[in-house]
Structures are given as C-alpha cells and as structure tokens.
C-alpha cells in the first residue's frame, strides 16, 4: 500500500525511493547552508558598522549640520583632510550610540528626559564649541539643534520639549543649548519652574568682539544693512551708544545676569571664557566637566589646533573617529571696524564688564 503512494504505476521501486530521499536531504542541507551563510554575512556587516569610523550620524542630529560636511562611510578608515590633523586609531571601535538608530529593531535604550543642564548663552560667545566638545563625554547627551523652548516655543509645553531630547541612561546628563535664553526676560523663571536644580552654562566673550561677530553674521544674511558704526551709535560724536540694538545690548552681561540671580544662586551658573575656550579648550572643558559633576574625560588629547581654520578642533567626535572642526559660520573673518569705534565701545562696556567681574568673582580681562 505504501508503495502505491510513492509510485502511481508499476511495482515498488526501492532505488527510486532512495534517490528521492537523497535529493530531498540534499536540498534541505543546501537551504540550511544558504541560511547560515546569509546570517553570518549580516552579523559581519553589523559589527563592521559599529566599528566603521567613517559612518556619520543621521540627519536627525541637527547640530551636525553646523559641523563641516563629512564624507559618507568609507571602509578604508579615516584620512585626515588637514595637514597635521591627527589620524584616528585604526583598531578603536566606538561604542554603539545609545540614542541613535537601532539596527536590530529592538527598543532603543534610555529615556527622554528634560535637560538637567543648559547652555543659555551668550550668542556668538562660543556656545556651539562648548556643546560639541562636551557631547564627546560618555556621560552627556546633547540635543544638536537649538530648541528655543524657553523663549519662542514655551507655549508648546514641557512634553513637547522632552520629546525633542536624546535618550539617556540614568547616569547621563541631558543638555541643550539656546544662546538667546540669556537675554530672555522670562527664561530664568521658566527654567526655574522646570527644575530649580538646572545647571546653567554661560559662554561669555569680550562684548565688543561679540558685537562685531554678531554683526558679521547678520551681514552675511542681509548684505544691505547699515554699517556697524551706524547701528552702534545714536550719536557717535556725543558717544551715545544705541543700547536698543541687540548686538550691543547682549554684551551688557551684568544686566541680564541680574534676572538669573533672582532665581538661581551664582554657584549654579558656570561661566566659560570664550577667549580661553580657543586658547585652552581642554582647560575650559575641564572646568565645565567639574561643574557638571562628571569625570574629566575630555582632555588635551581630544583637541588639535587646525592651522587652516585657526581654531582648536576635535580629534574625534561623539559619533565619528574623524577629526572635526566647527563649520564655516564659526570662526569667520570679521568685518573691518574703525579702531576708534572699537575704542569707544570698549569704553562704553568697561563699567558693565567691571560690575560683571565683581558679580561673578572672575576677571575675564577684556580691558
């Protein structure tokens, strides 16, 4: 009976049955071999991806757009574009990103939290440099873009704000930077209401240079604006400075600081010198790390001086083993300003600066 199932016609044929069985076993083995091979390739691909120094972070990392454009993944490893730029260690494998895309499709580790620390200012002080440097630290995760929550987007609510944040583990600090907070009247109260423990970082720079930097940026977008001199003074002969012009007003640091001190003790505000950030980035970042209460991970070893750019750059970033400088809009050549105008503005800022040094207990030597 059983033979009838195998062969419709004729007598039982054991040889044919054996052949069929052999073919069936062979095809099963082939299928298994192919499957194993494909899985193996996939695993190799994945481990190469984790170790690939040339893979860039996805477009969601908004801050990266401010960094120089980099090439896509290159299996050959990094080749520094700048003479004197450091080579990335060939054997090093960066840790998988905790908040980045997950290739396996499993849930992303970490939680979106409200920031425990903020870089609140000042515009053109060097805030991007501090953000990009500090995010190299494994205990810090930063939002790359400026969310402008405490000034423009406050109406969207804290849940919206939280949703923008990168995922962090409990041991990690969530950080964002929006330089306009420093001069926003409501920002200190709003931040205090979010958390009175928020740590605040302010990057300050000589207010005259800051104003010229600010003007240079505006000019690059709107070439038809009046001259720097024209905007700076209400009456230049009388030495009347126009304090209603934002580029001037932002540099009156002590006035803005007073609003913050109504809500936060001085010990909760850390001031970074924009000047020292360029001459000694590791020293300034050492103090930032102390202030944040995290180990001094970022040191001299993380920086090199890029002669072409004229600024310190990172040997490697949070997401890449390639050396990286900040983008073209950072460290621009400033417009030429009449030295007399500069002197007048220096005089104008002097009393504000001195009061600022006294208040914060630090001399930034802008005079």
Ligand X SMILES: Nc1ncnc2c1ncn2[C@@H]1O[C@H](COP(=O)(O)OS(=O)(=O)O)[C@@H](OP(=O)(O)O)[C@H]1O
Nearer to ligand X, 127 or 172 (CB): 127
Residues 154-183 that bind ligand X (CB under 6 A): 179
**What's the rounded Cα separation, in Å, for the pair 195 and 116?**
8
DSSP string, 163-177: HHSPEE-TTSEEEEE
What DSSP designation does 251 have? T
Between 52 and 118, CB nearer to ligand X: 118
Q: Which residues pair with 203 in a beta bridge?
A: 272
Count Cβ atoms within 10 A of the Cβ of residue 139 and give its class: 0-12 exposed, 13-18 middle, 19 or more buried. middle
For 274, half-sphere exposure in the C-beta direction (CA atoms, 13 angstrom radius) is 23
The span from the CA of 268 to the CA of 163, in Å, is 25
Contact between 251 and ligand X (CB under 6 A)? no
**Residues 2-61, interacting with ligand X (CB under 6 A):** none
Selected binder of ligand X within 147, 298, 330, 356 (CB under 6 A): 330
Tell whether residue 326 is a contact of ligand X (CB under 6 A).
yes
* Helical H segments across 2-100, by residue range: 2-6, 14-51
Looking at beta carbons only, is 128 or 270 nearer to ligand X? 128
Tell me: does residue 78 bind ligand X (CB under 6 A): no
Helix axes 281-292, 127-134, angle to 10 degrees: 70
Among 57, 97, 128, 316, binds ligand X (CB under 6 A): 128
Site membership for ligand X, residue 123 (CB under 6 A): yes
Distances (CA, A) of 26 to 34, 35, 154, 206, 254: 12, 14, 67, 78, 82
- Secondary structure percentages of the chain, helix, strand, coil, to 5: 45, 10, 45
Contact status: 332 vs ligand X (CB under 6 A): yes
CB burial class (10 A; 0-12, 13-18, 19+) of residue 169?
middle
- The mark string for 223-242 relative to ligand X (x by CB under 6 A, - otherwise) is --------------------
Whether the upstream peptide bond of residue 122 has omega within 30° of 0, thus cis, is yes
Minimum separation from the CB atom of position 274 to ligand X (A): 6
At closest approach, how far in Å is the CB of 142 from ligand X?
13
- Which residues have CB under 8 Å from 170's CB, separation 6+? 111
Q: Is 209 annotated as a binding residue?
A: no
Number of H helices, E strands in the chain: 12, 11
Number of residues that bind ligand X (CB under 6 A): 17
Does the annotation place 128 within a ligand binding site?
Answer: yes
Select from 54, 124, 135, 270 the one that contacts ligand X (CB under 6 A). Answer: 124
Residue 272 found at the interface with ligand X (CB under 6 A): no
Residue 306 is inside which H or E element, if any? strand 303-306
Closest CA to 352 of 118, 122, 196: 122
Smallest gap from residue 165 Cβ to ligand X (A)? 19
**Residue of the chain from 64, 70, 99, 127 that contacts ligand X (CB under 6 A):** 127
| Closest distance of CB 137 from ligand X, Å | 16
273 binds ligand X (CB under 6 A): no
Q: Looking at 124, 199, 315, 316, which residue is catalytic?
A: 124
Q: Does 331 bind ligand X (CB under 6 A)?
A: yes
Active site residue 124: yes
Residue in 277, 285, 292, 298 binding ligand X, rule: CB under 6 A: 277
Return the number of the residue (98 or 278) whose C-beta is nearest ligand X.
Answer: 278
Say if residue 213 carries a ligand binding annotation.
yes
Q: Site residues for ligand X, window 200-219 (CB under 6 A)?
A: 213
Q: Is 71 annotated as a binding residue?
A: no
Nearer to ligand X, 144 or 312 (CB): 312
Q: Does 312 bind ligand X (CB under 6 A)?
A: yes
365 part of the interface to ligand X, by CB under 6 A: no
Active-site residue set = 124
The binding site for ligand X (CB under 6 A) comprises 123-129, 179, 213, 277-278, 311-312, 326, 330-332
């Amino acid at each position: 009976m059983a033979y009838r199932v195998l062969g419709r016609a004729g007598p039982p044929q054991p040889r044919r049955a054996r052949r069929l069985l052999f073919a069936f076993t062979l095809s099963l083995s082939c299928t298994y071999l192919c499957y194993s091979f494909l899985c193996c390739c996939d695993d190799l691909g994945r481990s190469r991806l984790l170790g690939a120094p040339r893979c860039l972070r996805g477009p969601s990392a908004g801050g990266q757009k401010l960094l120089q454009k980099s090439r896509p993944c290159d299996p050959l490893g990094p080749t520094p574009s700048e003479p004197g730029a450091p080579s990335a260690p060939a054997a090093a494998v960066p840790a998988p990103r905790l908040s980045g895309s997950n290739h396996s499709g499993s849930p992303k580790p970490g939680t979106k939290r409200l920031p425990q620390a903020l870089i609140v200012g000042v515009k053109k002080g060097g805030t991007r440099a501090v953000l990009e440097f500090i995010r190299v630290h494994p205990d810090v995760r930063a939002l790359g873009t400026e969310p402008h929550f405490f000034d423009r987007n406050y109406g969207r609510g804290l849940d919206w704000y939280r949703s923008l944040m990168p995922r962090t583990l409990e041991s990690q600090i969530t950080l964002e930077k929006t330089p306009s907070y420093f001069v926003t009247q409501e920002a200190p109260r709003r931040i205090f209401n979010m958390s009175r423990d928020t740590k605040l970082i302010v990057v300050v720079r000589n207010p005259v240079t800051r104003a010229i930097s600010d003007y240079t940026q505006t000019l690059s977008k709107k070439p038809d604006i009046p001259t720097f001199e024209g905007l700076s003074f209400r009456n230049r002969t009388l030495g009347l400075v126009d304090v209603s012009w934002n580029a001037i007003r932002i540099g009156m640091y002590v006035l803005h600081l007073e609003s913050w001190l109504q809500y936060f003790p001085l010990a909760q505000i850390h001031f970074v010198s924009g000047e020292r950030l360029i001459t000694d980035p590791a020293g300034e970042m050492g103090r930032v790390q102390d202030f944040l209460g995290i180990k001094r991970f970022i040191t001299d070893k993380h920086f090199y001086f890029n002669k072409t750019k004229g600024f310190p750059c990172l040997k490697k970033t949070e997401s890449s083993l390639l050396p990286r400088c900040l983008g073209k809009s950072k460290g621009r050549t400033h417009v030429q300003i009449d030295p007399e105008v500069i002197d007048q503005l220096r005089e104008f800022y002097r009393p504000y600066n001195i009061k600022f040094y006294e208040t914060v207990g630090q001399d930034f030597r802008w005079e």
